[in-house]
Chain A
């Protein structure tokens, strides 16, 4: 009896696992427009449709920033359209539109997707003083990517679109220096706040005007 049950379980497991993740006899159509923050069309930006790690469709923008492609449909409820996800060398950040709960549609019209230019802040803190100082510091900067949930009952709190992110640390004699690169958005401001020992906190605004920006702070 146990043997029979095990056999049935194995057969059902094999049958279940063999069910294709991609639906046959169904296709979706994805189209839209991609532009920069100033409203200029962006050409040759890759756009992909996926569910989990399964690539379902892909295309790229033309000279007017328009894209359209056919996508397969999966059996999973989530469907994500990634814009500019496959090019680390692109000057623009990534944009994702996530359909998580909405029943799968056959046509996705993503009217105007705005990509913002990436900027990198090369940030250095160096201890030059010989005194025994402690530096508490933090950076607030804009994230370069945008994840938008597009559901019928939109839960905006789930999305993260060019949100402000922060990073903080403490430096002293045992750990005196810090160096890191922060990915952010061009033409935004990074707020650097520091407090040396027990003095009043100070804030410095760092404008990210270039693709790569350098800032060094000495204490």
Chain B
């Protein structure tokens, strides 16, 4: 958590420094349309990731989500607004009700998968994209002296807005929907409870455009 906040502060500082530098540069040089020259590009996101579970499922009723990190990469296809890339994210959950899920203490949740997206709009300073993908997720669960994994197939829908200080560097905010389709085998009584986990995720961090 501290690491994430430090990372975010570092990103904002870098942004301001490079923004100041860029403004000084553009005062002496002709006002450029650097960001609007957007024929071929790749976007990296790295930031704080905070999912919040909702609905009648194990993640909402028995787990408490803590923050994590996310990393994603998107590049446009053939100079079009269509994007393709990869996403990784990680977050932590503490078990708050062992009666509902079994006696383990916490989970580290790692997800990875491809993304397809579309750049909705861009200006000199603002960009908006939407991306969706299907990936694999591992719930690495820890009991006192034991560990075991639950797995899931994850669907993401990730709209993102970013503000750019200059051509390469900016910050982004994203409020996304995520659904983990769990592979957990249960008796009929527990089927709907363990079938899937729904999250709304908020993320904030550094946006790099090259």
Check if A and B associate: yes
Q: A25-B149, A27-B184, A29-B187 are in contact. List 15 more A-B contacts (CB 8 A).
A: A22-B104, A22-B147, A24-B141, A24-B149, A24-B150, A26-B184, A26-B185, A27-B194, A31-B189, A55-B103, A55-B143, A70-B102, A106-B187, A107-B187, A107-B188
Tell me, in angstroms, the Cα distance from A55 to B146 when the chains sit together.
10
Interface residues of chain A, those whose CB is within 8 Å of chain B, are: 20-29, 31, 54-59, 69-72, 106-107
Give chain A residues whose Cβ lies under 8 Å from the Cβ of B182: 25
- Which residue on chain B has the smallest CB distance to residue A54? B146
Interface flags for B99-110 (1: CB within 8 Å of A; 0: not) read 111111000000
Q: How far, in Å, is B28 (CB) from chain A's closest CB?
A: 61
For residue B85, give the distance in angstroms from its CB to the closest CB of chain A: 29
Known pairs A20-B146, A29-B189, A29-B190; A72 contacts B102 (CB<8 A): yes
Task: List 30 A–B pairs whose Cβ atoms lie within 8 Å, in order of A's numbering.
Answer: A20-B146, A20-B149, A22-B146, A22-B148, A23-B148, A24-B149, A24-B150, A25-B151, A25-B182, A26-B184, A26-B185, A27-B101, A27-B185, A27-B194, A29-B187, A31-B189, A55-B103, A56-B102, A57-B98, A57-B102, A58-B99, A70-B99, A70-B100, A70-B101, A70-B102, A70-B190, A71-B102, A106-B185, A106-B187, A107-B187
Q: Tell me the minimal C-beta distance from B57 to chain A in angstroms.
A: 13
Answer yes or no: B183 CB below 8 A from chain A CBs.
Answer: yes
A29 contacts which of B143, B184, B186 (Cβ < 8 Å)?
Answer: B186
B150 / chain A contacts, CB cutoff of 8 Å: 24-25
Q: How far is it, in angstroms, between the C-alpha of A99 and the C-alpha of B103 when the chains are bound?
A: 19
User: How many of B's residues come within 8 Å of A, CB to CB?
Assistant: 25
Q: Across the interface, do A27 and B186 meet the contact criterion of CB distance under 8 Å?
A: yes
Note all chain B residues with C-beta closer than 8 A to A23.
148
User: In whole angstroms, how far apart are the Cα atoms of A189 and B129 in the complex?
Assistant: 80
Evaluate whether A72 and B151 lie within 8 angstroms (CB atoms) in the complex, with A27-B190, A29-B186, A59-B99 already known.
Answer: no
Minimum CB–CB distance from B120 to chain A (whole Å) comes to 38
Task: Verify B102–A25 contact, CB threshold 8 A.
Answer: no
In the bound complex, what is the Cα–Cα distance between A54 and B102 (angstroms)? 12
Q: How far is the CA of A193 from the CA of B175 in the complex (A)?
A: 79
7 interchain residue pairs of minimum CB distance: A107-B187, A72-B102, A22-B148, A106-B187, A24-B149, A24-B148, A20-B148
> Among A20, A31, A72, which residue has the most Cβ atoms of chain B within 10 A?
A72
In the bound complex, residues from chain B placing their C-beta under 8 Å from that of A20 are 146-149
* Pick from B148, B187, B189: contact of A72, CB under 8 Å: B148
What is the distance, in angstroms, from A26's C-beta to the closest C-beta of chain B? 5
